[in-house]
Amino acid sequence: MRTIKSNMYRKILGDFGELFILYWLSKRNHEPVLIDYTGIDILSLNKNTGKSWGISVKSRIRAENKEKSSINVRAKQIPLIKEACKFINDGDPVTLDILMKIEVHFAWLSTFNNYK
């Protein structure tokens, strides 16, 4: 059975991916900032090394049993990412591919009526 997605699916997924990477970096001695710049979504300072990272986030949902499939960056995006990273330290763009499984559990509020 095919899943019917919301009209806002792509935007929600992209926003989620960016916010998740902000969270992930902030737990790993980075100072990340969400920015709106051509080619870069996040600028992050690694507090251990003093290097800044320009990060372009690509998000997608991987189908069951397809976890090893790749996330593609379009060839026309690469020059934009490189150009955006010129002003950051040595200009090296960073690629992060975080494979994770997220479980969400819903419960009716009435489930908790017996707890005080």
Residue 44 pLDDT exceeds 80: yes
Domain that holds residue 100: 9-59+70-112
Confidence of residue 52 (pLDDT cuts 50, 70, 90): confident
DSSP state of 88: S
User: Is 1 a domain residue?
Assistant: no
Edge-to-edge strands, sheet with 40-46: 30-37, 40-46, 52-55, 93-94
The CATH number covering residue 81 comes to: 3.40.1350
Nearest to 102 by CA among 34, 24, 43: 24
> What is residue 1's predicted lDDT score, i.e. its pLDDT?
61
Confidence of residue 83 (pLDDT cuts 50, 70, 90): confident
Task: Give the predicted TM-score (pTM) of the model.
Answer: 0.67
Domain count, the chain: 1
User: Is 81 a domain residue?
Assistant: yes
pLDDT in tens, 97-114: 555 566 666 666 676 676
**What tokens appear for 34 in the block?**
């969400």
User: Is 35 a domain residue?
Assistant: yes
